[in-house]
Amino acid sequence: MKRYILIIISLLSFASAKAQYTATGKIEYERRTNVIRALDDLDEDSKRWAEKFKSQLPNFTTAYFDMYFTTAKTLYKPGRESDNTTRMWFAQSPAAENIVLTDFGTSSVKATKQIFEKKFLVQDTMRKMQWTIKDEIRTIANFKCRKAVGKICDSVYVVAFYTEDILASGGPEMFCGLPGMILEVAIPRLYTTWIATKVELTAPKETDLIAPDKGKKVTQKELYESLKDSFKDWDELANKNIWWTML
């Protein structure tokens, strides 16, 4: 009898542990960009012009994005309006209209990206990043998260914090590939962070996971080559624009 009681207790403990994992829901990310630091990347003429308006700028601009997730798919898109924005052209928030659908079953991604007056529809396989997992732990939106580091565009350093308690292996924009959900991303060279402010456990509706379908169809590589040619005379700002577009 004692043996059966121990088995029942073990099964209940296992069920309780499994119940802590989250398979579906919605995440709100707050994206913060250091505007003052970003001004340093302007050319000298633009920088002198921007200095006249520096006192009118917030130190940071913020934008909000929502991500609906299941263990099969995630959809990342613009969220609620932010009160902390600016209309100055040199401090406008790039990648503000990105919509990204990631399908884990087919290892594919679809994303709409507005680049100046052109809209692109990226259709490709999921991004493969060489992540290195670190020991640092922090709590984000009440989830225990572990640090990982990687790179995009060969040389742009990315810091992420992910939780294994959310089963979907996704994240904001096209970031994915860690053993759980990415709740924070920092890209120092873009002076920008994405951090989850809240996680809602309500399962998304089918209409919340509809793939984008507008724009010129390209792969990530085709988009990269197109941007390299378009921005070839932009000096350092060319790299920044390409990095933002390739998120």
Residue 225 within a domain: yes
Residue 172 within a domain: no
Structure confidence by residue, pLDDT tens digits, 10-49 = 433 433 334 478 999 999 999 999 887 777 766 556 656 5
Predicted confidence at residue 16, as pLDDT, reads 38
Total number of domains constituting the chain? 1
Structure confidence by residue, pLDDT tens digits, 142-170 = 999 999 999 999 899 999 999 999 999 99
Residue 91 within a domain: yes
Q: Which residues pair with 123 in a beta bridge?
A: 110
Neighbours of 68 (CB within 10 A): 22
Residue 167 within a domain: no
pTM of the model: 0.86
Which residue's entry shows tokens 């994240």? 171
**Which residues constitute the domain of residue 203?**
20-128+191-245
How far apart are alpha carbons 117 and 123 in whole angstroms?
20
Residue 12 within a domain: no
- The length of the chain is 247
Residue 14 within a domain: no
**Two tokens at 220?**
């990530």
Residue 159 within a domain: no
Q: Is residue 92 pLDDT above 60, yes or no?
A: no
Residue 79 within a domain: yes
Structure confidence by residue, pLDDT tens digits, 116-144 = 888 999 999 999 999 999 999 999 999 99
Classify residue 144 by burial, with Cβ atoms within 10 Å: 0-12, 13-18, 19+.
middle
Question: Are the CB atoms for 36 and 57 separated by under 8 Å?
Answer: yes
